[in-house]
Amino acid sequence: MLGPATAHRLDVQVGDRLPFGDKGEHVRVTGIGLLPQSTASAYDEGAWVTPLGLRRLVGDGYGQALLVHFRNDGAGIPIDPLPSAQGTLENELEHEAQVVGNFRRIGRLPWIELAFFAALGVGSIAHLLTSSWRLRRRDLAMLRCLGMTPRQIRAIVGWQGLTFALAGLVLGVPLGLVAGTTLWRTIAHDTPLVYRTPLAGWTLAVLAPTTLVAVALLAIQPARRAGRLAPAEELGAGRS
């Protein structure tokens, strides 16, 4: 099994065969995955082989780890044994288990951030709808004098909220996908982790209708209050 960086550098995939050593031996790539980090390699570098395979390739003098140099033709040449006794290997694996445990402990963080930003968005829309009709009380009163019914005034407030929601979906979703994908790709590369596109189809499918329904519900109270405006009182208060 090769690390992703090593497999990319050698331009090989699962099932390919690589020459090894000067005896004409070949090894077959059976998988690509991450390995324990060591002083000689990162998570995505190096290779796993079975103990039997290691003895077949280099004999019994190398212990459990081997530093290998890959030439331009893809041939692996052992150049130096590594002093990795059983205790050292167990310490490395224990460290990797701790790293995995840390990632599991922060698994709830994306959901907490989602709830926070959802609450922030709901509060912003509610404040916008409430303050908007208050600031335009005279304009709404003038429209009433020109013949608009209370129902039409309520519709103005409702459509205003839906317009903001649609604009947020049309602009925010694509920009969020691009920014989130780029950020996660950078984090996965630097950690390193195996990168997978963080795209949940069901989330996008639920996001749009949920947002529109939430905004429609938030607009009910401001729309009712705007529909109850008394034109004479609002315009008279402005003259005084």
For residues 17 and 29, the answer to whether their CB atoms sit within 8 Å is yes
Place of tokens 């109270």: 221
Last residue of a domain, one of 41, 69, 103: 103
Spans in the chain with pLDDT lower than 50: 79-88, 240
Dmax of the chain from CA atoms? 102
Q: Cα–Cα distance between 92 and 41 in angstroms, integer?
A: 12
Q: Tell me: do 25 and 117 sit in the same domain.
A: no
Give the start-end residues of each E strand in 64-119.
Answer: 66-70, 76-81
Residue 19, strand partner residues: 26
pLDDT for the residue numbered 202: 77
Q: Tell me: do 80 and 45 sit in the same domain.
A: yes
Phi then psi for residue 196, to 5 deg, are -135, 135
Q: Tell me: do 219 and 112 sit in the same domain.
A: yes
Last residue of a domain, one of 79, 103, 127: 103
Q: Tell me: do 114 and 159 sit in the same domain.
A: yes
From residue 25, alpha-carbon distances to 19, 82, 128 in Å are 6, 21, 71
pLDDT for the residue numbered 68: 63
pLDDT for the residue numbered 144: 84
From residue 237, alpha-carbon distances to 135, 144, 200, 227 in Å are 14, 16, 53, 18
All residues at 6 or more sequence positions from 65 whose CB lies less than 8 Å from its CB, including other chains: 38, 81, 82, 84, 89
The tens digit of pLDDT for each residue in 68-87 reads 666 655 555 554 444 444 44
pLDDT for the residue numbered 38: 66
For residues 33 and 39, the answer to whether their CB atoms sit within 8 Å is no
Q: Tell me: do 35 and 87 sit in the same domain.
A: yes
Q: Is 2 left (phi over 0), alpha (psi -120 to 50) or beta?
A: beta
pLDDT for the residue numbered 14: 92
109, two tokens: 């963080």
Last residue of a domain, one of 49, 70, 103: 103
Q: Tell me: do 159 and 85 sit in the same domain.
A: no
The tens digit of pLDDT for each residue in 120-154 reads 888 888 888 888 878 888 888 888 888 888 888 88
**Domain membership of residue 171 as a residue range:** 108-239
For residues 27 and 53, the answer to whether their CB atoms sit within 8 Å is yes
pLDDT for the residue numbered 22: 63
Q: Tell me: do 65 and 172 sit in the same domain.
A: no
For residues 99 and 191, the answer to whether their CB atoms sit within 8 Å is no
Determine how many CB atoms are found less than 10 A away from the CB of residue 30: 12
